[in-house]
Chains A and B, each alone.
Chain A
Amino acid sequence: MTLTLPPQAGPAPTLQPTGWLRYFSFSVDHKVIGLQYLVCGFLFYLVGGALAGAIRTELLTPISDFLPRETYNEVLTLHGTVMIFLWIVPVVNGAFGNYLIPFYVGARDMAFPRLNAVAFWLIPPAGLLLIGSYFIAGAGASQSGWTAYPPLSLTTPATGQVIWILSVLLLGGSSIFGGINFIATVLKMRRPGLGLMQLPMYCWAMLGTSILVVLSTPVLAGTLVLLSFDIIAHTGFFNPALGGNAVVYQHLFWFYSHPAVYIMVLPAFGLVSEILPVHARKPLFGYTTMVYSILAIVFLGLIVWAHHMFTSGTPPWMRLFFTIATSFIAVPTGIKFFNWLATLWGGKLSLNSAMLFACAFIVNFVFGGITGVALAQVPFDIHVHDTYFVVGHFHYIVYGGTVFVIFSAVYHWYPKFTGRLLNEPLGQAHFWLTFVGFNLCFAPQHWLGLNGMPRRVAEYDPQFTWMNQLSSAGALLMAISTLPFLVNVLVSAFRGEVAGDNPWNALTPEWLTSSPPPVENWKGEAPLVTHPYGYGSAPDAIDLKATSGRDLWSSGRS
């Protein structure tokens, strides 16, 4: 089906700033918003990383010497909150979602562009508010960890805790607006003729993620409102001293925060599904099972939250149920991993930075996933809950998984954003430094946890000193590894090799236009790409009918 277009007028005069200024404006262009998310998120990553640096410096010695104990707790709370709510979630959803989804569905913008801009602009103030709370004299930031369990969060200084709540509410609101927008865009904005099962996998990942966002984030919001009542109005919802129930908070919190881990990782799965086929020059293996496994993860993700509460005095049947349900997430997740391996098998793999980061993601995530399945076993978890084993588990997943994918995606889509390639040797240096530093930092933490080091402590048993110093050395390497990346990204924007429109010879629609793309995404009609992964076939067999963007498609490098 083709659209008949009325003759096009030139772009209407606009009140929106143009040029670089638009990146600081309330722009409604999904591409501008996407990059706003990306850069803003990365700045917060540097903040969160510096906080991690403070944590690792404190842990160089077994005594609490570098930071006062209260400050240590503030730092780890801020680190967790910043990394999750201001870096991973906004970037992997907001940044890439906004940039890519309209291309993928063949639209010129998101379903609700202004809502989209609002969602983004909630983030900087919320982030500044959160970080600013650290500097409030006498009160400081929240000290109760990113989980903010009452009654602790009711007894630590109230100002910091309330600001934390406010900030997370704003970020949650942003996330919900974004989720609504993605659902509407994927379901309702598809170009005529484009079927659901023809969408690039990232659309499915974002659809699943957004369903989780819409269903679970509001519960967190409601819970935090109740928590703030407990703090401000002295109600007793979660305060046992006033007849309340502290464990109910944990249920409500994890009802959001377990799905949140899939909110952090499903989009990354989607991005990997886009990146691997292009650089392996092969179709994505098992498209249909990939889609169903996403849906299965969404469903299971909603019913496993209490695996964070195995020691919280939950009844035995509950532990049993949540153990089984949690373990079963390994099945759909495993399907995805095996499909990716099959995608690589027999391909023509370019081992560039994007590919290396994506493959390292597989290694790290499988490791983190296996420790996750171990944690899901109640008897196992009872020993290692709230220890560095858990810290190791989730950094393997959030950093080794999601952050690696973000880097991979930046290497992959940078030519699209800027029209220039990133420098490959610098990229490889970045990769190896990160990969070695990451494993050095977080692998020893599993041993620490098994042998008796609890998490969230500024002081520990001296027998663990050596291991902790190893871990800190790894963190230093990771910090250093940021340098080549920063240099690369900044310098290549001006000096990088010109990429051409489609340097990877990719088939997904965002590459079937100029780089960077015009404001309306395609000069003419949106291309109809029914086989986004049609690599490996003879060129005339690739179904790109009605690909009017094709004339824009410079057949670039190999």
Chain B
Amino acid sequence: MTSLSPGSATSSPPLGHGDPAGPDSLAGVHDHDGAHGGHTSGHPDHRLFGLGMFLVADGMTFAGFFAAYLTFRAVNPLPSGSSYELELLLPSINTVLLLVSSVTFHRAGSALKAGDGARSRRWLLISAALGLTFLAAQLKEYFSLPFGLTDNLFASTFYAITGFHGLHVSLGALMILIVWWQSRPGGSVNRDNPFPLEATELYWHFVDGIWVVLYGLLYLL
């Protein structure tokens, strides 16, 4: 997607900073078009805003799932004898893991902005590790649960929601690793082009936030 020469990726003429056609790159893939390097242009970069919108949309998907879950809970009692208690220990540890990873990611961001690439990369790696640990723990929980996907309504909803969230975490962890690679010395992500890191950070905070709600609704309620 970035193989086109500068100026050809968008049909807008190379108007320099007068060019209002901001680049688009929701997936967090950075943009090679030198013309759009956020800091050189006086125009704000709209990609984070776009990502924010996308996360609103994504959040609504979760909201729909949560609403369905709450309704099921309220009006569709499980057949007697088939209610399951969820273990709280692992998910609680997981909550802590994710929350901590948000903090570490924030550190990575600040470090990058402060120009300390090496420190930023260290924090990135820690965040990714926390995310992967979360996934591993989630998988362990899946395998130790006494019910399967189709056992009953509760089980199906539980797997659907946690699975959808797990997908988000996996994608996030992948993105962190990509950003980690890109921010190597000489890589494309640095103090002057922090967008991929910022985008991933925003996304990661979002995924954490969703988890907190999820944890509250599915495990605690």
Where the two chains meet, the residues of A that have a C-beta atom closer than 8 Å to any C-beta of B are 3, 5-6, 8-9, 11-16, 27-29, 32, 106-116, 176, 179-181, 183-184, 187-189, 191, 214-219, 221-223, 225-226, 229, 233-237, 242-245, 248, 251-252, 255, 519-520
With a cutoff of 8 Å between Cβ atoms, the chain B residues found around residue A116 in the complex are: 24
Q: How far, in whole Å, are A222 and B8 apart by their CA atoms in the complex?
A: 36
List 8 tightest A-B contacts by C-beta distance, closest first: A112-B24, A219-B64, A109-B21, A29-B11, A235-B156, A12-B7, A218-B61, A218-B60
Of A14, A106, A215, the contact of B8 (CB 8 Å cutoff): A14
Whole-angstrom distance between the alpha carbons of A229 and B71 in the complex?
18
In contact, B152 and A236 (Cβ under 8 angstroms): yes
With both beta carbons as reference points, the residue of chain A lying nearest to B24 in the complex is identified as A112
Residues of A within 8 A of B162 (CB): none
Judged by a CB distance under 8 angstroms, whether B49 is at the interface is: yes
Question: Quick one: given A108-B21, A183-B53, A218-B58, are A233 and B149 in contact (CB under 8 Å)?
Answer: yes
Closest to A30 in B: B11
Given contacts A214-B60, A222-B65, A252-B64, contact A14 B44 (CB under 8 A): no
Q: Is the CB of A109 within 8 A of B12?
A: yes
How far in angstroms is the closest Cβ of chain A from B166? 14
* Contacting residues, chain B, for A29 (C-beta < 8 A): 11
Q: Is B14 an interface residue (CB 8 A)?
A: yes
Which of B10, B13, B56, B156 lies in contact with A8, CB distance below 8 A? B13
B38-75, CB under 8 A of A: which get 1 and which 0? 00000010110110011011111111110110011001
What distance in Å separates the Cβ of B44 from its nearest Cβ neighbour in chain A?
A: 7
| Interface residue? B185 (CB, 8 A) | no
Residues of B1-16 contacting chain A, CB below 8 A: 1, 4-16
Interface centre among B11, B53, B67, B149 (most CB of A within 10 A): B11
- Contact check, A219 vs B63: say whether CB atoms are below 8 A apart: yes
Partner of A3, one of B6, B18, B78: B18
- Number of interface residues, chain B, beta carbon within 8 A: 57
Distance of A292 from chain B, by nearest CB (Å): 22
Report chain B residues within 8 Å CB of A8: 13, 15
CA distance A245 to B8 in the complex (A): 52
Query: Within 8 Å CB of A187, what residues of B?
Result: 49
- Chain B residues near A32 (CB-CB < 8 A): 11
Which chain B residues border A248 with CB–CB below 8 Å?
68, 71-72
Nearest residue (CB) in B for A239 is B153
Pair A108/B12 contact, Cβ less than 8 Å: yes
- Inter-chain CA distance A32–B149, complex, in Å, is 46
B186 at the A/B interface (Cβ < 8 Å)?
no
Q: Which residues of A contact B64 (CB under 8 A)?
A: 218-219, 222-223, 252, 255
Q: Are B150 and A233 in contact (CB under 8 A)?
A: yes
- Given A113-B10, A183-B53, A234–B152 Cβ distance below 8 Å? no
Question: Which residues of B (73-101) have their CB < 8 Å from a CB of A?
Answer: 75-76, 78-79
Contact B68 A235 (CB under 8 A): no
Q: Which residues of A contact B17 (CB under 8 A)?
A: 6
In the bound complex, CA of A29 to CA of B22 (Å): 13
Query: CA A8 – CA B58 in complex, angstroms?
Result: 41
In the complex, the answer to whether B8 meets A15 with C-beta atoms within 8 Å is yes
Q: Which residues of B contact A219 (CB under 8 A)?
A: 60-61, 63-64
Is B138 among interface residues, defined by CB-CB distance under 8 A? no
Question: How distant is B62 from chain A, measured CB to nearest CB, in Å?
Answer: 8
Chain A nearest CB, measured from B33 CB (Å): 11
- Beyond the given A112-B22, A112-B50, please list 17 additional residue pairs across the A-B interface where CB-CB is below 8 A: A5-B18, A14-B7, A107-B21, A111-B46, A112-B23, A114-B24, A114-B25, A115-B50, A176-B57, A217-B57, A219-B63, A223-B64, A226-B68, A229-B160, A237-B68, A244-B72, A248-B68
Q: How far is the CA of A378 from the CA of B217 in the complex (A)?
A: 34
The distance in angstroms between the C-alpha atoms of A226 and B49, with both chains bound, is 29
Q: Are A188 and B11 in contact (CB under 8 A)?
A: no
Min Cβ gap A121→B in Å is 13
**B22 — nearest CB in chain A belongs to which residue?**
A111
Q: Which residues of A contact B26 (CB under 8 A)?
A: 112, 115, 180
B9, B12, B16, B59: residue with the most chain A Cβ atoms closer than 10 Å = B12
| Minimal beta-carbon separation of B102 from chain A (angstroms) | 23
**CB closest residue in chain B, given A255:** B64
Are A519 and B13 within 8 A (Cβ)? yes
Please determine whether A214 and B5 come into contact, CB atoms closer than 8 angstroms.
no
Interface contact A252-B68, CB-CB below 8 Å: yes
Residue ID in chain B nearest A240 by CB atoms:
B76
**Closest B residue to A109 using CB positions:** B21
In the complex the two chains form, what is the Cα distance from A217 to B59 in whole Å? 11
Across-interface contacts of B15 in A (CB, < 8 A): 5-6, 8, 108, 520
Q: Which residues of A contact B59 (CB under 8 A)?
A: 218
23 contacts between A and B (CB under 8 A): A5-B18, A6-B17, A12-B5, A12-B6, A12-B8, A15-B8, A16-B8, A108-B12, A112-B23, A112-B47, A115-B50, A176-B54, A179-B57, A180-B50, A181-B50, A188-B22, A188-B49, A189-B22, A219-B64, A225-B160, A235-B149, A243-B79, A252-B64
For the complex, give the distance between the alpha carbons of A459 and B101 in Å: 62
Check if B19 is an interface residue, CB within 8 A of chain A. yes
Given the known interface contacts A229-B156, A236-B156, the answer about A14 and B11 at a Cβ–Cβ threshold of 8 Å is yes
B115 at the interface (CB under 8 A from A): no
User: A225 to B57, alpha carbons, bound, how many Å?
Assistant: 15
Question: A109 contacts B11, CB within 8 Å?
Answer: yes
Against A, the Cβ 8 Å flags (1 = close, 0 = not) of B143-174 are: 00000011011001100100010000000000
What's the nearest-Cβ distance from chain B to residue A256, in Å?
9
A176, B26: Cα distance in complex, Å: 13
Q: Are B58 and A16 in contact (CB under 8 A)?
A: no
Q: Give the docked Cα–Cα distance between A27 and B11 (Å).
A: 8
How far is A290 from B20 in the complex, measured between Cα atoms in Å?
Answer: 28
User: Shortest Cβ distance from A331 into chain B, in angstroms?
Assistant: 26
With contacts A112-B22, A114-B1, A519-B11 taken as known, whether A222 is within 8 angstroms of B61 at the C-beta atoms is yes
Minimal Cβ-Cβ distance residue in A for B3: A15
Do B53 and A184 touch across chains, with their CB atoms under 8 A apart?
yes
- Across the interface, B71 reaches (CB within 8 A) one of A3, A184, A236, A251, namely A251
B 115-142 to A, binary, CB cutoff 8 A, 1 in contact else 0: 0000000000000000000000000000
Q: Given the complex of chains A and B, what is the CA–CA distance between A28 and B150 in angstroms?
A: 45
Q: In the bound complex, how far is the Cα of B60 from the Cα of A114, in angstroms?
A: 24
Contacts of B72 in A (CB 8 A): 237, 244-245, 248
Partner of B5 from the list A6, A15, A188, A255 (CB cut-off 8 Å) is: A15
Q: How far is the CA of A3 from the CA of B63 in the complex (A)?
A: 43
* Residue contact A13 to B57, C-beta cutoff 8 Å: no
Q: Is the CB of A184 within 8 A of B50?
A: yes
Contact residue among B60, B62, B156 (Cβ-Cβ distance under 8 Å from A215): B60
Query: When chains A and B are docked, how far (Å) is the Cα of A6 from the Cα of B40?
Result: 14
CA distance A9 to B19 in the complex (A): 13
Which chain B residues lie closer than 8 Å to A176 at the CB level?
Answer: 54, 57
A115 B24 Cβ-Cβ under 8 A: yes
